[in-house]
Amino acid sequence: MNVEHLKTDILILGSGGAGLFAALHALKANPDLDITVASKGLLGKCGCTRMVQGGYNVALNPGDSIERHFMDTIEGGKWLPHQELAWTLVTKAIERVRELENEIGCFFDRNPDGTLHGKAFAGQTFDRTVHKGDLTGIEIINRLMEQVWARPIRRLEEHRAVALIPAQDGALAGVLLIDVRTGKFCFVSAQAVLLATGGGPTMYRYHTPSGDKSMDGLAMALRLGLPLRDMEMVQFHPTGLLAGPDTRMTGTVLEEGLRGVGGHLLNGAMQRFMGDYDPKLERATRDVVSRAIDAEMRAGRTTPNGGVYIKMSHLGPANVAKQFKGMVDRCRDCGFDLAGGLVEVVPTAHYFMGGVICEVDTATECYGLFVAGEDASGMHGANRLGGNGVANSTVFGGIAGDVMPHWIAKNPGHRPPDTHVLDAEVERALHPFTRKPGDLNALREKLLDTMWDEVGVVRGRASIERGIAGIDGIEAELLATGLADGGRQFNLTWHDWLNLRSLCEISRVIALAALRRENSRGAHYRSDFPEPGDLATSTFTVARHISGGIEITERPVVFSHVKPGETLLRDPIAAE
């Protein structure tokens, strides 16, 4: 098989907030380096950063503090976060938001006195979520995109990464990609690679990430033998739009600020129900609210489409329309009146706390590979606070961009790829062309239902084991299913097949990690083990691909800044 070979100094996989920040920082650190950004879609037009609605958590107000933001993050993550990563997130966010404004060119909403406005988000003890209306991600990604376009940064658009290729000594040599437009394979040799493809748990019936997300980065890391942590931790956003089965708008997020500002959740009987589940009502963390909605659904107290309602009209329709124009417009497009009526919502798979284990400087255990954004793990633990996601991507993307040029200076040179692995990965990607055509969409629908029903908001041993068996069966059917079109040029069915294989592989790891964790923390809730367990002896799961399959182990959480029962806050009231 003919494979084109390219060479660059730094290869960045992904063009979201993490990838673009890394590119800008790397170029600034060493303008002589050749930097390439590879994107599965069009730069700045694909991925999840663009879809961010709510905002960016940062402790700027004199009444707030980095310690308070840190404690919210640790407690929200149920004491599972890697505390050095979490501390870096909350401290560097201040520097990064100033950079977004003063260097990147972002405009955020402001208070009458000119300071940045922070809106209320659930699970936080201070209103610290900086935003641009309710379409913050578009502002951030558009400005980043403009900055990248204005600089000598090479772009490989519509090039999907399919494999991380090692050298014979185990260090990373580069990445195998497919040019979606031509169908040709391309191996890019790089001195350093950043994995920033984004997560995207699109294996669930209801999900928020963009359609191009299919866990490719984690699937590639898994095959390379890298350890993945917290893989059972799938965050379900409580309020995904439920507009029926005939529109792809179903599952898309209605942002957290709606609940933060005082929106009410009502069941099908028009009863406000959150008081039955948590004293913080609608401002409880995402995991709590999602489980409450799930309980109402299981009890049959649902809306016509099977979810619950969100109600905003008591806050004044004109006020709601002004504060949440994007959300009001989205609902109107689907026939709902968010400002003055009721909108049906359902928990929707939104964010993946699991990912590659990394150091604070974004380095992984694979020599030459770095990771940032949703592909990385440890910052959030069992539950990500709304507003910490885009902060995470930009903070650690920038760090990776700062670190990689210095790493290359100390470890110069390109490494030749292991040709046996390269050839095997090409053959693997071409597998569906060797099988008879089948119904790929039916398999995807089966996976969506399997993960939603068996490894969803609430899990138990019996359901997880059914889920694993279902995933195994779906993957076996997939490997026996081929493509009707034998051409590789812009063959989107081929890429759908590759997407589904990645989703199957990561779905299995999610289920196995969920089976291993026999307690309930944050986004992971076991009906047969409903208690959180002893916080002081907390462990996180580690998944790794070995010759016999997937191995799941546990490691103890290191409480490097604060231990359960303690706080960094001096004010005891603020610590509550």
Compute CA 173 distance to the chain's CA centroid, rounded to the nearest angstrom.
26
Q: Which residue type sits at 31?
A: P
Which residue out of 25, 259, 286, 501 is catalytically annotated? Answer: 259
- Residue 50 dihedral angles phi and psi, to the nearest 5°: -60, -25
What is the rounded (10 degree) CA torsion for 61, 66, 70, 73? 30
Pairing, β 308-311 against β 228-229: unpaired
Cβ distance 59 to 65 under 8 Å? yes
Q: Which residue type sits at 313?
A: S
Nearest to 37 by CA among 477, 397, 454: 397
Cβ distance 41 to 51 under 8 Å? no
Half-sphere exposure of 362 (CA within 13 A, CB side): 32
Task: State the angle between helix axes of 440-454 and 492-516 in degrees (0 to 180), rounded to the nearest 10.
Answer: 20
- Helices vs strands, H then E, count in the chain: 14, 19
The radius of gyration computed from the CA coordinates of the chain, to the nearest angstrom, equals: 23
Sequence-ordered list of residues with C-beta below 8 angstroms from that of 73, at least 6 positions apart, any chain = 81, 86, 89, 90, 379, 380, 385, 388
Instruction: Name the β-bridge partners of 370.
Output: 194, 363
Which residue out of 237, 330, 415, 488 is catalytically annotated? Answer: 237
Q: Copy the structure tokens of residue 207.
A: 């999900």
Nearest to 356 by CA among 237, 201, 220, 162: 220
Other CB atoms within a 10 A radius of the CB of residue 36 amount to 21
Q: How far apart are CA 348 and CA 261, in angstroms?
A: 21
Half-sphere exposure of 21 (CA within 13 A, CB side): 29
Q: Give the 3-state secondary structure of 157-206.
A: CCEEEEEEEECCCCCEEEEEEEECCCCCEEEEEEEEEEECCCCCCCCCCC
Note if 488 is an active site residue: no
Half-sphere exposure of 189 (CA within 13 A, CB side): 14
Sequence-ordered list of residues with C-beta below 8 angstroms from that of 576, at least 6 positions apart, any chain = none
Q: How far apart are CA 106 and CA 394, in angstroms?
A: 13
Q: Copy the structure tokens of residue 423.
A: 């050839």
Note if 259 is an active site residue: yes
Catalytic residue numbers read 237, 259
